[in-house]
Structure formats: C-alpha cells, structure tokens
Amino acid sequence: MYAFHKYWGKKPAEPISFLIENLTDTDEVVLDPFVGSGVVAREAARLQRRFVGIDLNPIAIELSKLLVAPPEPGAVESGLAEIEARARQEIDDSYRRGQADDVATHYLWDREALREVWVVKRRGGRGRRVYQPTENDLRQSDKYHDYQSRHIRPLRFFTNSRVNASPDLTLNHLFTGRALRNMDVLLDAIDSLPLSVQPAFRLCATAASGQMSNMVFAITRRGKTTGARSGKVEVGSWVIGYWRPHLHFEINAWNCFSRRAHKLASGVRASSLPALSVSSEDPSDVLRRQANVALCCDDTLNALRGLPDNSVDLIVTDPPHSDRVPYLELSEIWNAILGYSVDFRKEIVVSNAKERRKGLAKYNQSMKEFVALAGRVLKWGRFMVILFNARDPLSWEYLRALSDDRGESALEYRGHFPISYSARSVVQDSRKGSLKTDLALVFQKLGGTSAGAHLLREVRCIGGWLDTLPKQGQEQ
C-alpha cells in the first residue's frame, strides 16, 4: 500500500510503528500535523490508536484516507473490471496501428518528431517490436493535438527553476492531447462507479499520471538498472519536477492506469487493518471518542490552534525540510486531476519561486509557532518526534532555539537517532554530498508531572541513539 503512490518524501514505516507502539497505549491519541503520504496515519490505525492528521495538501489527505480505510478487495477488482469494460477499447483505439490486435504501447519522441513506435507484449514471449512510424501513426497523434481536458482543471505554477516550472506551463505542455483525452475517458468511467470506490480509482489516475506525461525519459547509452553502457533505448520514468526531455516516451494511458490499479488491488488484498468504526474531518470528534480517525485538510497552524491544551499523547511528524520538497508545487497535477484547488499562501516551505515570498525567515517563524502550538496540545510527560534533516544550518534555527532555551514551549530535547530511507529517491536527492538519512529528533513535554520517564527508556535503546544535538546539516 505504501508503494502504491509516488507521493513525495515517504518515510519507512518500521521506525514509525516502533515509536507509536512504545510511546503510546491502545486507544491513546497520535497526532501528525503534516500527515503527508499517510504512513503515520496507517501505522496508528493498525496499532489501534486514535489518530488526528492535518495537511494543507488535499492529495495528502486523500491518500491518508485510502491508507486508513481501504476499500474491500472485491470492490476494487469489480471496479477495475467495470472501468476496463467502459474505457479500454476506446483508449486502445487511439493507439491502434491498423491491425485489429496491434495496439502501440510506447511512442519514442524527439521533441515534436515521432521516431519509433513500440508494441510490447510480455505474455507469450513476443517481447518488444519496434516500428518506424507510419502515416496512420502520425494521423492518430495529430487527431488529438489540440485536445482540452474536460475533467482536469487548469494548472497553477510559479517561476521555479528548481522544478522547471513557470506560470505559462499548461496541461498541454506536459501531456499529449491523446493522453489528456484518454485521462478524461478514464475519469468518465470512474464517475460511473459506486461513490465508495471512486476516490481510490481517482488516486490511481493521479499515481499513473506521471507515466502518461511527456516527462518520461528515454534512457540511452546505459543500462536501466546496471548502469553499464548499452546501445539499447529503455523506458525511464517521471522523477521530480516538470522537465520535458527532448527524447521522451508517450506511453499507452490504459497500461499506466491498470498497473497502478492492480497494485492497489494487491495492496488491499494484503491489508491487515482492523475495522475502523468512524472517521471524521473534525479532530474534536477523535478527542471526544466519537471517531477513531480524523483527517483534516487545513493550514496546520490554524488547525492546532483549535485543539485543547494537553489533549494529545504522541506527536510524530515529518514537517517540511526547508526547501527540499516544495510539496504543493510538485502535487499540482495530482490536485488538478482530483479537482482540488490549494491556497499556496498558507504552505510552510522554502520555495525557489520568488513570487511566493517563501524564504528561510518566514519558514523559521512559522515552524517556531508550530513547535509552540505542538507543545501546548501535548500532554505532560509525553513526546513529540520530528523527522528532519537539512544541509543548510539556517534551516535548523527553529529546532536549535527550541533545544537551547525552549522559548515559549514546554518541550525539552531528549536525543535523536538516524532513520534511513526505505528506497533511493530523487526527491531526497542522489547527488554527491546530498543527505541520505533523516534524523528522528525526540522532545518531551516536561513540567507538572514526572510521567514519561519509562517511555523514554523504551526509545533510548534504539541503535544509533545520541543524547546530544546533531550537527546541523551533517550525516550522522
């Protein structure tokens, strides 16, 4: 389930599960104020803790809803069969090469010129067949050249060279007209399904959208997995940002979607979550025991102001790491597919888009306010664990201030341990000198009671634990 979607900045579930299991008891309240890809939400639900999750990013909330309350496997399988019956032939017809069973799977483009057409059929040992484009192939592409999506709202971008975005970037820059038309066909079919499974399949569409785009690199002169030199052209993937490589692939939209949908079906079949009685969008329902889970799409600072003092047993969160991941900018296509608009002004982040005016000073100011609010809602003696790392020492200012004098917060720094990423990720950077781990920074709310000493002993046994403050911006 965690591998189902390519949401940015995922963290491994095992240390998060360990923290929840050892720092809380069944039915206590776990809070994640930056819920992101939903790992904390699912682990809390799996361990039968009550949970409150907050995020400004709509797709983060939708993913978390899916993870804590996935649809039944039979509903996913029957829904996919219904979508296939309604949409597949119409989509395949847009890639058909003339012969009844000859449906293209990949088109190799060099800028605006179509270089090759592939038909890849793995079953039956037929493998890859590569053709030079015919007049029919060119007509099929030209037929949808100026297509405008009916379902996906216009995109909003800023001038951000780090992710290769600009305000004039549109859907038709990022997708062929044929891809946009086929995405509409899929979304039409999804709209025909029972309301209970529509959100899951819309998330499948977002998860598949990167491979449907013009941003899929063609890998040349090296092996895809080995790195050895090769004369073979291989299919890469959409990685991060909005780069449109000159040499790129257009991939059959049905194949992209069905792979994601089958991954979802596999995930829900293997799911072992207990039944959730009630979920809500209002955190107070969880605190009053009227719901087990609350997922709130809101500005984190605003949502935390609405929580009562001393109401949460554990905070585990992966907040924005300075400028490492501009979440809303990178999620814009996904939110557009889902039909959500976002308020970029409220995002806590450092963005390279100057017109957003999201610099380090404003970031540290917002994060200091977050820490103060988190300390207020946390119960005496209990813990907040922040997953964080940044190369720039200035990005540590709010945490350094907290550990030095605690400021307005009742939180005290207790120590940290390293968390390795569960997989290599371009989002986390694979360049020389980039960070390869995060740090779990553990704070405790002291004063009023001596409770929590036994809980601290549970986490200090973790390998790599250090009581000292980490050297900011350095690997541990």
Q: How confident is the model at residue 425 (pLDDT cuts 50, 70, 90)?
A: very low
Task: Report how far residue 12's alpha carbon sits from residue 124's, in angstroms, rounded to the nearest whole number.
Answer: 37
| pLDDT of 227 | 54
- pLDDT at position 243 is 94
Model pTM? 0.92
Closest CA to 242 of 154, 331, 324: 331
Instruction: Read off the pLDDT of residues 235-269 as tens digits, 9 standing for 90 and up.
Output: 998 878 999 999 999 999 999 999 999 999 999 99
Name all contacts of 189-194 with Cβ < 8 Å and 24+ positions apart.
189/82, 189/83, 189/86, 189/87, 190/83, 192/82, 192/86, 193/79, 193/82, 193/83, 194/75, 194/79
Task: Give the mean model confidence (pLDDT) for residues 17-26.
Answer: 96
Higher pLDDT, 43 or 392: 43
pLDDT at 28: 97
In CATH, what number does 13-70+271-460 get? Answer: 3.40.50.150
79-133 pLDDT, tens digit per residue, is: 999 999 999 999 999 999 987 678 999 999 999 999 999 999 866 556 889 999 9
- CA 182 from chain centre, in angstroms, equals 23
Where are the CATH 3.40.50.150 domain residues in the chain? Answer: 13-70+271-460
How confident is the model at residue 276, as a pLDDT?
A: 63
User: What would the mean pLDDT of 142-159 be, rounded to a whole number?
Assistant: 96
Cβ–Cβ under 8 Å, residues 179 and 253: yes
pLDDT at position 173 over 70: yes
Note whether 378 and 384 are within 8 A (CB). yes
pLDDT digits (tens, 9 = 90+) for 271-284: 877 666 568 999 99
Is pLDDT above 70 for 408? no
